[in-house]
Amino acid sequence: MGDQNDDNKIFWCNPLIRAVIPISKLHISRSLKKLCAKKKFKFSINYDFKTTISNCANREETWINKSIMSIYNNLHDLGYAHSIEVWEDNELKGGLYGIAIGRVFFAESMFSKSSNGSKIALIALMGILSLNKFLLLDVQFMTDHLKTLGAKEVSRSFFLHLINKSKFNKVQFKQPSDCIIDKELMYQAEKNSLVGIRKL
């Protein structure tokens, strides 16, 4: 992380308590479901990683400085960092980026260009993680916003146990043939829990 966007120093965080969202346990509000059913939101994977991370950094206060942007762009070129972009009528509405290692996706940041843009991107992400048999979605630090979306807090030791359990079982991070936020994708994001993390 960085302290601010004009400071290129980086420091690492390893919190005692970690926030995660169990795969297929994303909470999608009734109003958001209605919105997704009413409008045809589409999503893409890695369509424009540089623009996605740039949008995530484009705010008054951000920990995403130039050094971090450069490093993550390199990780994207190496196939580790991925972005998801959400579209409506060919207009970018929101997105997110993160890193996939083993069966864990480490979400880094999200952005919205309209109401609910980042939440819709999270639906797409969770659907993709479910379809590709990921074990865990790491969201790092708990916030009131993430709590409403189904995030849970786990100890550092249990988090590291899950990482060690999954790091050698690499799965693909690929999109389904149909890239529309529909009922099937929302079902994957919300209901189809994996046995290994039901205790969460």
Question: CATH fold of 17-197, please?
Answer: Aminopeptidase (3.40.630)
- Confidence at residue 7, expressed as pLDDT on a 0 to 100 scale: 63
SS3 content of the chain, % helix, strand, coil (to 5): 35, 25, 40
Sheet with strand 152-155: strands edge to edge: 42-45, 81-88, 91-101, 104-112, 136-140, 17-22, 152-155
- Confidence at residue 176, expressed as pLDDT on a 0 to 100 scale: 75
Q: Domain extents for the chain?
A: 17-197
- Confidence at residue 6, expressed as pLDDT on a 0 to 100 scale: 62
What does pTM read for this prediction? 0.88
Residues of the chain with pLDDT under 70: 1-8, 192-200
Token digits of residue 87:
């579209």
- Confidence at residue 192, expressed as pLDDT on a 0 to 100 scale: 57
- Confidence at residue 191, expressed as pLDDT on a 0 to 100 scale: 77
- Confidence at residue 104, expressed as pLDDT on a 0 to 100 scale: 93
